[in-house]
């Protein structure tokens, strides 16, 4: 056996592995991607609304905690002012921003109403009329679309409630274009105000657009006046309280309460899976909009809890057709109409409301109907001649089966014969015969439940030459359902955006 070579003293040179640039490049790519995402994140933050809806409320709550103060002002006069000012400002938003400018539910006859909507609607702190009303129209036109609905519930509950306000959507360019199309700056004509302050209907849209642009240019001035200056002045000089309490309670906390009330409409009002709100969809279940039947949520949303109704009838000045519904905005607009301050108040005809309710109820019934066994539709049953039927009844293979004819429809009632209250003998006596008269009262008048059970045993249509009654039943049983389905599909395909 040969000896192994002597390896002692032999140096083995290890191969040097040169570092590849791929690792560094991939790491640099990841770092650059993270930096880009971080930069885009900060660019997409809506800083003005972050200040009004996060920073200011946070500072107000921090002050209360630090000073160990209550959420409710200690002085009664300040509390009363907070309640009154809360109602006064939120009505400027719900009646002005929402009903007047987003949906054209009514027309103010005098300029001072537009000024009221513009100044005190700004006190809510969620943007100027042009921006909010434009986005709201997009919400109605593209409800639940993940990109085109600015507060789509499909992007999550928090996004629908608050996220859309704090962070610009990736579809921001689309929304800017949409708002521009809805409230174009290029369509403004020259000023032409009436000496009396009342405006003609011919110039209404031009004046409205002027007021919207006028408010947008002065939005922050109006915000500071209605959220900080006015609450502080009233609290100090009329409520005889401190200026800080005026800033905190009727100023910032009142603003925060109004914001949460309005944002709850787009989150809770589009959540079908929150049983605590008692959600219902009596008008249309094709979208996420629901009526929150819990009275507590009616109070929270300031009467805007019937979103299913509102999305079907957005032009209506009411949030519900029910007389008993809690809806302060409806009462306010109705009062303005009685006083002659507004015109062209839109109200959906009762007949149209009932029609849609019936259509929705029928759609629900049709869905439930489709899940039940109603037997083979008559139109899909095979035609069996009299000769074939006699052969079927006399066949040795079917000697233990019972076939009867009722209204020219052949039924195999073998599975039911042991359960028949009249006994098997009575059924066997009718085997191969026409039992129409016996079934419908000649022997016993069967119930509707018995008729439905009998339908599940159909096997064919007897071709006796008298098919008129058979096809009459086909039209009655199948034609009505198909007609309702087609009508529902047609009615469900429309856009409910009043302004679109």
DSSP per residue, 455-496: HTTEEEEEE-S--HHHHHHHIIIIIHHHHHHHHHHHHTTS--
pLDDT for res 314 = 96
Residue 280 — φ and ψ, nearest 5°?
-145, 155
Kind and range of the H or E run holding 351: helix 350-370
Residue 279 — φ and ψ, nearest 5°?
-70, 145
pLDDT for res 142 = 95
Using pLDDT thresholds of 50, 70 and 90, give the confidence band for residue 431: confident
* 353-374 residue pLDDT tens: 999 999 999 999 989 888 888 8
| 132-146, 412-426, 445-459: which is most confident | 132-146
- Given a cut of 50, whether residue 494 has pLDDT beyond it is no
What are the tokens at 388?
């074939």
Range in 52-61, 304-313, 438-447 with the lowest mean pLDDT? 438-447
Which letter, b or e, does each residue of 35-74 get, where b requires 16 or more Cβ atoms within 10 Å of its Cβ? eeeeeeeeeeebeebeebbeebbeebeeeeeeeeeeeebe
Residue 53 DSSP class: I
What are the tokens at 325?
């519904």
241 vs 199, higher pLDDT: 241
The widest CA-to-CA distance across the chain, in whole angstroms, is 125
Return the bridge partners of 410, or none: 405, 460
pLDDT for res 179 = 86
Neighbouring residues of 215: CB distance < 8 A, sequence distance ≥ 6? 118, 119, 121, 122, 128, 129, 130, 222
- Given a cut of 60, whether residue 17 has pLDDT beyond it is no
Q: Among residues of the chain, what percentage have pLDDT more than 70?
A: 81
Neighbouring residues of 443: CB distance < 8 A, sequence distance ≥ 6? 422, 426
pLDDT for res 400 = 84
Range in 210-214, 344-348, 349-353 with the lowest mean pLDDT? 210-214
Handedness of CA 187, 137, 218, 170 (dihedral sign): negative
Going along the chain from its start, the domains and CATH numbers come out as: 43-185+203-274+312-348 (no CATH), 378-479 (3.10.120.10)
CA–CA dist 438, 406 (Å, integer):
9
Using DSSP, state whether 385 is helix, strand or coil.
strand
Using pLDDT thresholds of 50, 70 and 90, give the confidence band for residue 331: very high
Kind and range of the H or E run holding 150: none
* 222-234 residue pLDDT tens: 999 999 999 999 9
Neighbouring residues of 75: CB distance < 8 A, sequence distance ≥ 6? 239, 240, 241, 245
- Given a cut of 50, whether residue 311 has pLDDT beyond it is yes
Mean pLDDT of the chain: 85
Residue 103 — φ and ψ, nearest 5°?
-120, 0
| 46-50, 59-63, 294-298: which is most confident | 59-63
Q: Are 93 and 301 in contact (CB under 8 A)?
A: no
Where residue 322 falls (left for φ over 0; alpha for ψ -120 to 50; beta otherwise) is: beta
* 459-477 residue pLDDT tens: 899 887 666 666 676 767 6
pLDDT for res 37 = 65
Token pair 């001072």 is found at: 112
pLDDT for res 170 = 76
* 172-191 residue pLDDT tens: 788 888 888 888 766 555 44
């Amino acid at each position: 056996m040969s000896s192994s070579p002597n390896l002692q003293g032999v140096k083995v040179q290890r191969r040097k592995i040169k570092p590849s640039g791929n690792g560094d490049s991939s790491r640099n790519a990841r770092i650059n991607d993270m930096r880009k995402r971080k930069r885009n994140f900060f660019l997409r933050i809506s800083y003005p609304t972050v200040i009004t809806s996060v920073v200011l409320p946070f500072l107000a709550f921090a002050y209360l905690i630090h000073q160990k103060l209550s959420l409710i002002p200690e002085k009664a006069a300040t509390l009363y002012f907070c309640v009154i000012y809360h109602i006064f400002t939120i009505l400027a938003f719900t009646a002005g921003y929402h009903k007047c400018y987003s949906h054209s539910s009514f027309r103010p006859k005098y300029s001072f109403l537009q000024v009221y909507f513009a100044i005190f609607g700004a006190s809510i702190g969620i943007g100027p009329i042009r921006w909010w009303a434009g986005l709201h129209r997009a919400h109605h036109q593209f409800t639940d679309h993940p990109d085109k609905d600015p507060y789509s519930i499909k992007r999550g509950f928090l996004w629908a409630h608050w996220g859309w306000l704090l962070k610009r959507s990736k579809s921001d360019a689309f929304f800017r274009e949409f708002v521009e199309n809805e409230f174009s700056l290029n369509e403004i004509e020259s000023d032409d105000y009436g000496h009396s302050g009342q405006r003609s209907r011919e110039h209404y849209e031009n004046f409205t657009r002027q007021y919207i642009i006028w408010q947008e240019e002065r939005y922050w001035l109006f915000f500071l006046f209605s959220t900080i200056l006015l609450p502080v002045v009233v609290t100090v000089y009329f409520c005889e309280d401190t200026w800080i309490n005026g800033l905190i309670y009727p100023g910032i906390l009142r603003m925060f309460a109004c914001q949460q009330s309005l944002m709850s409409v787009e989150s809770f009002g589009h959540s079908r899976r929150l049983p605590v709100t008692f959600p219902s969809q009596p008008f249309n279940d094709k979208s996420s909009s629901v009526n929150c039947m819990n009275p507590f949520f009616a109070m929270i949303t300031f009467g805007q809890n019937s979103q299913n109704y509102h999305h079907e009838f957005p032009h209506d000045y009411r949030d519900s057709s029910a007389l008993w519904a809690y809806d302060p905005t409806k009462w306010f607009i109705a009062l303005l109409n009685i006083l002659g301050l507004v015109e062209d108040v839109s109200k959906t005809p009762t007949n149209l409301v009932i029609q849609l309710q019936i259509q929705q109820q029928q759609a629900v019934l049709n869905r439930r109907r489709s899940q039940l066994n109603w037997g083979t539709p008559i139109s899909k049953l095979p035609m069996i001649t009299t000769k074939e039927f006699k052969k079927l009844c006399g066949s040795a293979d079917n000697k233990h089966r019972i076939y009867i004819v009722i209204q020219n429809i052949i039924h195999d009632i073998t599975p039911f014969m042991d359960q028949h209250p009249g006994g098997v003998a009575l059924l066997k006596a009718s085997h191969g015969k026409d039992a129409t008269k016996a079934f419908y009262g000649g022997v016993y008048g069967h119930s509707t439940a018995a008729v439905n059970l009998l339908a599940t045993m159909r096997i064919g249509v007897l071709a006796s030459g008298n098919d008129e009654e058979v096809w009459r039943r086909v039209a009655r049983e199948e034609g009505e359902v198909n007609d309702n389905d087609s009508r529902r599909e047609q009615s469900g395909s429309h856009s409910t955006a009043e302004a679109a």
